[in-house]
Amino acid sequence: MRAIFAGGGTAGHINPAISAAQELCRRYPDAKIMFIGVKGHMEETLCEKAGFPISFIRVAGFDRRHLLKNVKIAGDALKAISDAKKIIREFAPDVVVGTGGYVSGPVVYAASRLKIPTVIHEQNVLAGVTTKLLCRVVKAVGTAFSECKLPKCRKKVCVGNPLRAELFGISREEARAKLGIPQDAPFVVGIGGSLGARAINENMLALMHAAPETMYVWLSAGKGGYEKVYPKAPKKPGCQVLPYIYNAGEVYAAADLLVCRAGAITLSELNAMGKPAVLIPSPYVAENHQEHNARLQQERGAAVMLTEAELNEQLFLDTVFGLVNNPEKLKEMSVASSFMGVRDATLRFCDLIERVAR
């Protein structure tokens, strides 16, 4: 098995590819895996940490605000296709897999022109532009949600979002014992993403100040937000501000409630673990797709959505305390979240990759 994965820009595009690559290596001990990404972007760090080689092309997303800049971007995209073809020819893969982000466009298109079997994966409820364009040339499209609409596409297969294996295998009680959190203490975790989210950081900071001493509140403020939030946090035993949560499996398992954006991978992780959430979708993403993700979670009873337009400190505190003080409601949300979860998505996606490769 020789496979190339292309995905980048955010962890939400890269981690599913890494999870699938690791599963292929488990199935085929002599597998040869390569990633293609953009130099200096997150995929470089995550792939190297996971132990996978990565090659680079130069490509950028289209600028919706400054249209004239797109002339150069289009030129770079054409060169990226040429560069991708060279890498693909040298590696000679059985299959090329795209998991989103603008880097996957030129790579998957180049592979299709070279008659290499291709698969793409769409993580969101609302399909992105790259998926809509590539679904015409690929052999199969794996989607995370059955509600994902791709008109006239007969290649769609709902597989769920491939997830990190480290998220599973530890109970709430075991996780709390390991983290030093009392079994009966309310525990709320805020996740601002790898780069941080100001709306989450500011409101979680307010929650720390308002929380009783018996309540545990942790915040992953992101590399950009940590230095701003940490000095303002109260010195309470149960309050912690971190730049990033690396032991996500333990922290998620121990938490009663999570506060986060509505990125597709984050939601899939919470659903797979049966965790209730307060979602604050980012309004700064393409086609406002995070609000579509969050709205589906709310409609299914797994989460409460607060848009940034309506968000204020009092509404946030009322929402969080209202849930924390209502264990029955949290239990209902947990059941609804579990019902949406797909724990074997990595296996399903790799089954699809294998079928296409054959």
pLDDT by position in tens, the chain (length 358): 999 999 988 878 899 999 999 999 999 999 999 999 999 888 998 999 999 999 999 886 655 565 555 556 666 778 999 999 999 999 999 999 999 888 999 999 999 999 999 999 998 888 888 888 899 899 999 998 888 888 778 889 999 999 887 788 899 999 999 999 999 999 999 998 766 799 999 999 999 999 999 999 999 998 778 999 999 999 999 999 999 888 889 999 999 999 999 988 889 999 999 999 999 999 988 788 899 999 999 999 999 999 999 999 999 999 999 999 999 999 999 999 999 988 899 999 999 999 999 9
Q: Are 2-163+343-357 and 166-340 in the same CATH fold?
A: yes
Cβ–Cβ < 8 Å for 332, 301: yes
> Dihedral through CA 244, CA 124, CA 198, CA 231, nearest 10?
-10
pLDDT for 194: 67
Tell me the whole-structure pTM to 2 decimals.
0.80
Fold of 166-340: Rossmann fold (3.40.50)
Cα 213 vs. chain centroid, distance in angstroms? 32
Query: 2-163+343-357 architecture in CATH?
Result: 3-Layer(aba) Sandwich (3.40)
Domain ranges of the chain: 2-163+343-357, 166-340
CB atoms near residue 231 (< 10 Å): 8
Token digits of residue 330: 């949290």
pLDDT at 244: 87
> How would you label 273-296 residue by residue, b for 16+ Cβ within 10 Å and e otherwise?
bbbbbbbbbbeebeeebbbbbbbb
